[in-house]
Amino acid sequence: MTNTEIAAVFDQIADLLEFKDSNPFRVRAYRNAARTIRDLPESMAEIAADPQRSLTEISGIGKDLAAKVATLIESGSLPMLEELLEEIPESVLAILRVPGLGPKRAAALYNELQISTLDALREACQAGRVRELKGFGAKTEAAILQGLEIASQAGQRMLWYEADQHAQLILAHLRRCPAIEQLEAAGSYRRGRETVGDLDFLAVAGDAAAVMDHFARYDGLAGVLLRGETKMSARLAAGAQVDLRVVPAESFGAALQYFTGSQAHNIELRRLAKDRGLKINEYGVFRGKKSIAGRTEEEVYGTLDLPCFPPELREARQEFEWAAAGELPRLVELGDVQGDLHVHSTWTDGLATIEEVAAAAKARGLKYVAITDHSKRVAMVGGLDAKRLRQQWAEIDQLNKRLRGIKVLKGIEVDILEQGGLDLEDDVLAEADWVVASVHYGQSQSQERITRRVVEALENPHVSAIAHPTGRMLMQRKPYEIDLEAVFRAAREHGKMLELNAHPIRLDLDDVACAAAKHHGVPIVIGTDAHRIEGLEMMRLGVQQARRGGLSREDVGNTRPWGQLKKVIGKHG
DNA sequence: GCCGTTTTCGGCCCGACTGTTTTCAGTCG
């Protein structure tokens, strides 16, 4: 059983316990465990199988939860969950997802009106039966109906890239408000999460009402959800919720820290503050009633002798341990990246010529760019056979003679064939500067077969890296099944790298996988998989995910000059 | 259910906003 699956079980138990009105701290223990396990850079099954180790070494996993994890790994199921599900139908959990409905109200609906499905809930609201319940009223009933609408429509998280487009427009609008003195985007958007649920903005202004009035005039708003003295929430026509908070300047740092989160990071931070007799809230750090910090984030963290964590690390994973040990990594930065190792050209399905790609890469400050078009198996886009590939490389050789300040690498994205083996002969691959191997076909094969195909590719001396190693080719589609631990082991054994593919809808190596690669000692390289020159911009996304995985410059292969990288992958010619 | 340089029991982050209340519970982030 994978970490993700174990985490899903614990999350479901937390939902069910919450619904049953169990001890909220017990619920939190399950949720914390779920989050910790989901984010863990190594497999729980491997830790459990290691006689030298114990699952209880993981913070938040005690004797009880360790036993439950062991049961899940051995049997694939958990008696406790089965019992809970006999008691409570699974469909009631959907009710908890309706905005405005939490465990208390959902339980009241279930116990008093026997409502266990969203359809039944809608009918009961329309019939006016919900308003009869104690603690409910006509407004609550209407809010539930609206919440049902939202839940059924979108309610989904946006890709960071989409969130960025909305955020930039909203920031531009807010900057035109004369009352605003300081302005920042916060939340998971600022932390660079792969997907973003809602957008958070923070402003400093003397006149909060003026800021809210200005925000309410933003074109893209569908409506205002709530508005108070300091806080306002609205919904974009595009569906996403936007929260705006207005604070005084002396609280800006504390508020920015608070609204950037994550929630788990904040809980840990406040716990540490409590240990020192301090209290942290969004207005500042307090000793008794006296504020001792709040203007900047550095000040706030400084009161606890902590560094101002890069937002990407604020997930309550390892950042506090790192800081305590003085081992906070110096995270990789966009400016560290020297080359893009995955770009397509007009030779297959790209829209830019090799020369255009080279010019665009140089303009972005890169020193090298690998042209990695598809091999012949990808016939749909005119994948290259040995003959055409050598023609392309001849063109690249000619181009390199003329170009200054940028080197074009002779690369190929070679297909890992369904039956195993690669789509081009070794003698051709041997002539390439950079060979990235990908699974495009036979994605529905068993985990064993796909893993074997990828591990075989890693054993090929001419392969430099594997792209799409997790099978998350498209977020909308189910990833293929692969034993990532086996891939890490093979990559390390053969000195290969894994590619973080930074296409906006194909972040195929997420932050947890980046951290896992680092944990297993496997370097990452970042490629954009650009099909047009604008696609090179996506390197930013890749770097962001790598930072979230805690990767430093040394952990990312293409922060090295090409001459050095070439030696690492064993290309000496 | 977890955790421990005061603790193996008694804590567990903190505040804004709304609706249904007559002082506060529920939800959210």
pLDDT above 50: residue A269? yes
CA-nearest of A522, A448, A509 to A483 is A448
Q: Within 10 A of A461 (CB to CB), how many other CB atoms are there?
A: 13
Residue at shortest CA–C1' distance from B11:
A25
* Whole-number Å distance between alpha carbons of A67 and A65: 5
Q: How far is the CA of A364 from the C1' of B23 (A)?
A: 61
Q: Categorize the per-residue pLDDT at A332 as very low, low, confident or very high, splitting at 50, 70 and 90.
A: very high
A283 nearest nucleotide via C1' and CA:
B15
A30 touches strand B (CB under 7 A): yes
Mean residue pLDDT across chain A: 93
Helix, strand and coil percent figures for chain A, each rounded to 5: 50, 15, 35
A55 touches strand B (CB under 7 A): no
A140 nearest nucleotide via C1' and CA:
B19
A552 touches strand B (CB under 7 A): no
DSSP E strands: which ranges in A294-449?
339-343, 368-371, 407-415, 434-438
Residue at shortest CA–C1' distance from B25:
A135
Please name the residue that has the structure tokens 């950042």. Answer: A319
pLDDT above 90: residue A263? yes
pLDDT above 50: residue A326? yes
Helix (H) / strand (E) containing A292: strand A290-293
User: How buried is A302 (Cβ within 10 angstroms: 0-12 exposed, 13-18 middle, 19+ buried)?
Assistant: middle
Contact between A550 and A329 (Cβ < 8 Å): yes
A484 touches strand B (CB under 7 A): no
Please name the residue that has the structure tokens 């003959």. Answer: A387
Q: Categorize the per-residue pLDDT at A571 as very low, low, confident or very high, splitting at 50, 70 and 90.
A: low
**Nucleic strand B contacts from chain A, 225-264, CB < 7 Å:** 226-231, 241, 243, 259, 261, 263
| Dihedrals phi, psi of A385, to nearest 5 degrees | -90, 180
How confident is the model over A335-342, as a mean pLDDT? Answer: 98
State both tokens at A506: 């194909």
Render pLDDT for A420-460 as a digit per residue (tens, 0 to 9): 999 999 999 999 999 999 999 998 999 999 999 999 999 99
Contact between A400 and A371 (Cβ < 8 Å): no
* Whole-number Å distance between alpha carbons of A44 and A515: 15
Does the bond joining A262 to the residue before it have cis omega, within 30 degrees of 0?
Answer: yes
Q: Within 10 A of A331 (CB to CB), how many other CB atoms are there?
A: 21
State both tokens at A356: 């255009």
A144 touches strand B (CB under 7 A): no
A29 nearest nucleotide via C1' and CA:
B1
A432 touches strand B (CB under 7 A): no
- pLDDT of A476 reads 59
pLDDT above 90: residue A490? yes
Q: How far is the CA of A170 from the C1' of B20 (A)?
A: 35
Contact between A319 and A265 (Cβ < 8 Å): yes
Q: Categorize the per-residue pLDDT at A208 as very low, low, confident or very high, splitting at 50, 70 and 90.
A: very high
**Nucleic strand B contacts from chain A, 345-384, CB < 7 Å:** none
Q: How far is the CA of A435 from the C1' of B25 (A)?
A: 61
Query: CB under 8 Å to A488, separation ≥6 — which residues?
Result: A498, A516, A517, A520, A522
CA-nearest of A559, A460, A470 to A516 is A470
A139 touches strand B (CB under 7 A): yes
- pLDDT of A153 reads 64
The share of chain A scoring above pLDDT 70, in percent, equals: 98
Query: CB under 8 Å to A330, separation ≥6 — which residues?
Result: A552, A553
Q: How far is the CA of A383 from the C1' of B1 (A)?
A: 56
Q: How far is the CA of A54 from the C1' of B2 (A)?
A: 16
How far is the CA of A442 from the CAs of A421, A445, A465, A468, in angstroms? 13, 6, 20, 14
A97 touches strand B (CB under 7 A): no
pLDDT above 60: residue A329? yes
Q: Categorize the per-residue pLDDT at A300 as very low, low, confident or very high, splitting at 50, 70 and 90.
A: very high
Q: Within 10 A of A398 (CB to CB), how many other CB atoms are there?
A: 10
A274 nearest nucleotide via C1' and CA:
B13
How confident is the model over A87-108, as a mean pLDDT? Answer: 90
Contact between A433 and A409 (Cβ < 8 Å): yes
A245 nearest nucleotide via C1' and CA:
B16
How confident is the model over A561-572, as a mean pLDDT? Answer: 85
- pLDDT of A547 reads 98
- pLDDT of A154 reads 53
State the pTM of this model.
0.93
| Dihedrals phi, psi of A527, to nearest 5 degrees | -130, 150
* Whole-number Å distance between alpha carbons of A539 and A549: 15
Render pLDDT for A212-233 as a digit per residue (tens, 0 to 9): 999 999 999 999 999 998 999 9
CA dihedral A247, A251, A256, A257 (to 10 degrees): -150
The CA-to-CA distance between both ends of chain A, in Å, stands at 44
CA-nearest of A561, A514, A76, A17 to A312 is A514
DSSP E strands: which ranges in A150-212?
158-159, 182-186, 195-196, 199-204
Q: How far is the CA of A258 from the C1' of B15 (A)?
A: 11
* Whole-number Å distance between alpha carbons of A159 and A378: 27
* Whole-number Å distance between alpha carbons of A437 and A311: 33
Query: CB under 8 Å to A23, separation ≥6 — which residues?
Result: none
A27 nearest nucleotide via C1' and CA:
B1
How confident is the model over A531-543, as a mean pLDDT? Answer: 95
Strand B: list positions under 7 Å from protein Cβ: 1-3, 11-21, 25-29
Check residue A316 and give left, alpha or beta (phi > 0: left; psi -120 to 50: alpha): left
Helix (H) / strand (E) containing A300: helix A297-302
Please name the residue that has the structure tokens 């006999």. Answer: A86
SS3 A449: helix
* Whole-number Å distance between alpha carbons of A437 and A123: 54
How confident is the model over A108-114, as a mean pLDDT? Answer: 92
Q: Which of A8-17, A109-118, A178-187, A501-510 has the lowest mean pLDDT?
A: A501-510
A287 touches strand B (CB under 7 A): no
Query: CB under 8 Å to A168, separation ≥6 — which residues?
Result: none
* Whole-number Å distance between alpha carbons of A227 and A213: 10
When computed from its CA atoms, the radius of gyration of chain A, rounded to whole angstroms, is: 26
How confident is the model over A335-340, as a mean pLDDT? Answer: 98
- pLDDT of A573 reads 41
Residue at shortest CA–C1' distance from B29:
A263
How confident is the model over A526-553, as a mean pLDDT? Answer: 96
A61 touches strand B (CB under 7 A): yes
A265 touches strand B (CB under 7 A): no
pLDDT above 70: residue A178? yes
Q: Which of A135-139, A174-178, A468-472, A516-520 has the lowest mean pLDDT?
A: A468-472
The distance from CA A475 to its chain's CA centroid, rounded to whole angstroms, is 11
- Exposure string for A174-198, b = 16+ CB within 10 A, e = fewer: beebebbeebbbbbbbbbbbbbbbb
* Whole-number Å distance between alpha carbons of A11 and A5: 10
